[in-house]
Amino acid sequence: MTTQVKHFIAGEFTTGNGSRCISVTNPADNQPIAQVNCATAAEIEQAISNAADAFKSWRQVAVPERARLMLRYQHLLKAHHDELATILAKETGKTFADAKGDVWRGIEVVEHACNIPSLLMGETVENVARGIDTYSMIQPLGVCTGITPFNFPAMIPLWMFPLAIACGNTFILKPSEQDPMTAQRLAELFDEAGAPKGVLQLLHGDRDVVDTLLCHPQIKAISFVGSVAVGRHVYQTGTEHMKRVQAFAGAKNHSVIMPDANKQQVINQLVGASVGAAGQRCMAISVAVFVGDTKHWIPELRDAMASVRPGLWDDPDAGFGPLISPQAKQRVLGLIAQGKQEGAQCLLDGSDASVPGHEAGNWVGPTLFTGVTEEMTLYKEEIFGPVLICMEAESLEEAIALINRNPYGNGTSLFTGSGAVARKFQHEIEVGQVGINIPIPVPLPFFSFTGWKGSFYGDQHAYGKQAVRFYTETKTITSRWFEDDMSHSGPNMTINLK
């Protein structure tokens, strides 16, 4: 019998009454492994109104007590690290090592949420005028929601609800319908950690659930991570409904290779950063820009990429797993075919990749293109597959100009042995996350995840201090306690503090 994925509504895990069902499949063979009943309008309403009720008491809970919930949660997540990674690997196809990394990077955010008392500290100035003090308080918003993509089913939900809840909000998580079982386990462990009923709710489904959340008057803030098209829709609809929105969207990440870089390190890093996780990372390197003579390194890069093969999640020799769905595979194969038609040279073609015994899986092998120009579809579209395209530049300036013309700005990296070159690059590049000899520079949670341009719609980013700002309001209080000698100063007819 197929597993029924459970919602978490009003403190109860339930398969729900929805009549519209979505099948969750194993990407390595496309056989069903679970089924989701999409949340009904009544279930969504129940979750939101229960979260609104829970907010009234949760916001009164002492901040150190909220931190203790996060401490218990991070302890449980660590105790269940391998179990979570196994669930995640089975529904995404990620290798076990990569799945563990997905869980771990989420646990790091929960560790950060344990610091919530100091993150919520306001500011104070004594004597802003004679006998008058001003101080600020950071207060929660109410019911917040998070809509997450398939590609990091542990890390990205954990970017959102632990910090939002630690700030005193209640939260409704709508994970990707393609791999919802990891989110269910995250919610079960949160419950086991002692979270009060109603503080976290989990609703499964697809666009219908999202669209209801975006417009609902009791939702105060929306965190979204996913594709550009949906990100724009979420941002536009959410802000039209007067909500606070942060929408993290697609990407096209370039890596620049300077002649003074270490060739072997560059090749090793490019292979992992382009085909790791089958290229299904928003920070994957999909464009390598070879400066000057480094273009002669491309044949060695090709050989290194050819030595990596896809495989099953529990195959320790597999470099990466399948794509998430047959549709995702068809899309990537279509882009590879279009690249060839438009005149790019395909030095390594993974279109026919397969894994013996699992031929029905969504396999695509490492693929490498040269001769790509800015006008080609391969360059313009986010591919989201194990495909690396090589471009060439005469100078660092030319490489920087290319990247700055690109509409996306999630991540970029530079390989060099020169501090001066690195400094120029980090100063001039119009991208929000920069790696110097680090191909995938995802910041740790005491910083924020700071995509720019078409990769992000909003103001405050994920985790770090910015997420605390996103999930809270600042209240500023100006206060005076009259002493006897101040009581007779007469009316103040100006706006000045006296």
| Catalytically active residues, by annotation | 282
**Kind plus residue range of the DSSP H or E element containing 389:** strand 387-393
Minimum separation from the CB atom of position 160 to ligand NAD (A): 11
Minimum separation from the CB atom of position 6 to ligand NAD (A): 17
How far apart are alpha carbons 50 and 56 in whole angstroms? 10
Which stretches of the chain bind ligand NAD, using CB under 6 A?
147-152, 174, 176-177, 206-207, 210-211, 225-227, 230, 233, 248-251, 282, 382, 384, 410, 451, 455
By residue count, the chain amounts to 498
Minimum separation from the CB atom of position 133 to ligand NAD (A): 41
**Kind plus residue range of the DSSP H or E element containing 41:** helix 41-58
Which is nearer to ligand NAD, 58 or 408 (by Cβ)? 408
- Could you tell me the two tokens for 41? 């309008």
- Could you tell me the two tokens for 402? 């290319």
| Sole residue written with tokens 């109603």 | 198
Which is nearer to ligand NAD, 193 or 247 (by Cβ)? 247
Minimum separation from the CB atom of position 214 to ligand NAD (A): 8
Angle (CA) 230-459-475 rounded to 5° is 125
Which is nearer to ligand NAD, 145 or 176 (by Cβ)? 176
Burial status of residue 340 (CB atoms within 10 A of its CB: 0-12, 13-18, 19 or more): middle
Q: Output the CA–CA distances (angstroms, integers) from residue 238 to 13, 209, 383, 473, in the order listed.
A: 28, 14, 27, 18
| Under 8 Å between Cβ of 85 and 99 | yes
Please identify the residue of the shown chain whose CB is closest to the bound ligand NAD.
226
Minimum separation from the CB atom of position 360 to ligand NAD (A): 21
Which is nearer to ligand NAD, 102 or 392 (by Cβ)? 102
Minimum separation from the CB atom of position 57 to ligand NAD (A): 29
435 has which bridge partners? Answer: 413
Q: Mention every residue, 6+ apart, whose C-beta is less than 8 A from residue 477.
A: 134, 135, 136, 137
If you ran DSSP here, which 8-state letter would residue 442 be given? P
Return the SS3 of 181.
helix
Cα-Cα end-to-end distance for the chain: 74
Which is nearer to ligand NAD, 298 or 389 (by Cβ)? 389
Which is nearer to ligand NAD, 67 or 285 (by Cβ)? 285
How far apart are alpha carbons 70 and 64 in whole angstroms? 10
- Could you tell me the two tokens for 290? 């070879």
Minimum separation from the CB atom of position 123 to ligand NAD (A): 30
User: Dihedral sign, CA of 179, 184, 185, 190?
Assistant: positive
How far apart are alpha carbons 429 and 442 in whole angstroms? 17
